[in-house]
Amino acid sequence: MMSSRPRPPAAVNPLPAAVLGLAVVIFGVECLFQLADRGIIGGTGGMGLRLGALEHFAFYGQAFDWMVTNHRFPPELIAQFVTYPLLHISFVQAVMACVFILAMGKMVGEAFGNVAVLAIFFGSSVGGALAYGALLNETFPLIGAFPGVYGLIGGFTFMQWVRQKAVGESQMRAFQLIGLLLGAQLVFGALFGARNDWVADIAGFACGFGLSFLFVPGGWARLREKLRNR
């Protein structure tokens, strides 16, 4: 006989599908690279799998400059805007990206939904790549999920920003996390040296914060109204 008692709430809420999917894809790609690096798949030829993938799917500022100069936008180069976040230069970098995606994505996904997670992550990745290509003259490609991760942090910051306003507290407190992360990044860069991909991270954060507005109930309507009144 089935019991009519209500089930107790789960101790841990399940991860939104989009968040789990992103982490699985990124970790899966890195595991593939690890197996290839060790010659387990592809034999000795497999050891160049990561390098080959970075050559074709990472984002290159020179390619961006070429597209802008020649007004030509081949699909394989456009695709790099959304493929570079799935690739990483090391196992540690990939794991760190997955941890941040699971943590930040869970909160953003529970508030805004799966579509928002994907839109913010990939929209911020595109925004980060645009800033990286337009503002810098880097020969090293843009690699890794962190512009998208910073976009999710932007989404979380937006949630805190709205909350602080609702309770009548200073909205600047919402930016404590990004301030801490950027401060740590500056210190790390000063001590150990760093590339200029922080530009893409900041742009990703700004994109994530801005895109979050569209996923607030009534956000699209308010945006259309502002555009009509311009």
Quick: pLDDT tens for 123-137. Answer: 999 999 999 999 999
User: Among the listed ranges 131-145, 163-177, 178-192, which one has the minimum average pLDDT value?
Assistant: 178-192
Domain ranges of the chain: 17-228
Helix ranges, 38-145 (H): 49-57, 61-70, 75-78, 80-83, 91-112, 114-135
Give the 3-state secondary structure percentages of the chain, helix then strand then coil, rounded to 5: 75, 0, 25
Residues constituting the chain: 230
20 against 178, higher pLDDT:
20
Average pLDDT estimate for 220-225: 55
Residue 27 has pLDDT above 50, yes or no: yes
- According to DSSP, residue 128 is labeled H
Residue 223 has pLDDT above 70, yes or no: no
pTM comes to 0.85
191 against 57, higher pLDDT:
57
74 against 48, higher pLDDT:
74
Average pLDDT estimate for 68-90: 96
What is the residue-averaged pLDDT of the chain?
85
17-228 — its CATH code?
Answer: 1.20.1540.10
Spell out a b/e string for 99-128, using b for 16 or more CB atoms within 10 Å of the CB, else e.
ebbeebbbbbbebbeeebbbbbbbbbbbbb
